Amino acid sequence: MAAPLARAAVVAEPLPDRPLLSIIIPVLNEVDCLDQTLANLLKQPWVKHHCEIIVSDGGSDDGSLEIAQRHPCKIVHSGAGRARQMNAASSTAQGKTLLFLHADSRLPRDFGDMIDTNASWGFFRIRLSGNGLPYRIIEAAINLRTRLSRVAGGDQGLFFERQFFESLDGYPRIPLMEDIAISKKARRLAPPLVIEPAITSSSRRWQQQGIVKTVLLMWSLRLAFWLGVDPQRLHRIYYPQRG
């Protein structure tokens, strides 16, 4: 599988020679959360001994790279676009299994004991970081939908056995909904492993834009994608500040 890649560099201390798991974190101006995400990962002994962490940068100019360089991880540079960044990082990964983690998400404690590296693919249940009943209702609805549909979002920590991921030709080269698209391809070939302890996903978009507005936006984007609307157009709606 060919993937766009400009250059990669190993920084800080050596990574495991034969990692079981490659944790890939796509980043574009994530200075507010990246340091905490990396620090939380590296607190887990299993991560230190069995994982490599790859930060795939899409052109950050806010200090995210300087934060990554303070931690024992590999840094990959590619053009912007989450699918492009994740594919670029996967081409340098050494792990038997690839786990794709959003920069503002936190994996559950001892998650390494829960991932079957022989599973073709899977994802975690989700818990939103916000407090209050509306967030509990939203996450319950997401978990029910993903379990029934076997289609997960990227904030649920999608993971793939390397050869299975390559058989899918990686993430589709689209600017939005790449997580939905790859889940749909994967479920045709193998059932997902759903990890019960939840990954914690940031509620910042819900908090900034409002719960009702965000729910309606998410539903409308998914429906539009299902109806065949161009992902480029959906990307402009989801990220209006990026033009």
Residues of the domain holding 58: 7-208
At 16, the pLDDT band (50, 70, 90 cuts) reads: low
Query: Would 19 be classed as within a structural domain?
Result: yes
- 151 assigned to some structural domain: yes
What is the pTM (predicted TM-score) of this model?
0.88
For residue 134, being part of any structural domain is answered with yes
- Which among 154, 26, 10 has a CA at the least distance from the CA of 79? 26
Is 80 inside a domain boundary?
A: yes
CA distances from 240 to 19, 30, 125, 188, 236 (A): 39, 18, 29, 33, 5
Residue 109 lies in a domain: yes
Tens of pLDDT, residue by residue over 193-226, are: 999 999 999 988 778 778 888 878 777 877 777 7
Total residue length of the chain:
243
Is residue 154 very low, low, confident or very high in pLDDT (cuts 50, 70, 90)?
very high
Q: Is 101 domain-assigned?
A: yes
Instruction: Look at residue 134 and tell me whether its pLDDT is greater than 60.
Output: yes
Q: What pLDDT digit, counting tens, does each position of 155-197 carry?
A: 999 999 999 999 999 999 998 999 999 999 999 999 999 999 9
What is the tally of structural domains in the chain? 1
In a domain, 217, yes or no: no
Find the CATH number of the domain harbouring 24. Answer: 3.90.550.10
Within-domain flag for 219 = no
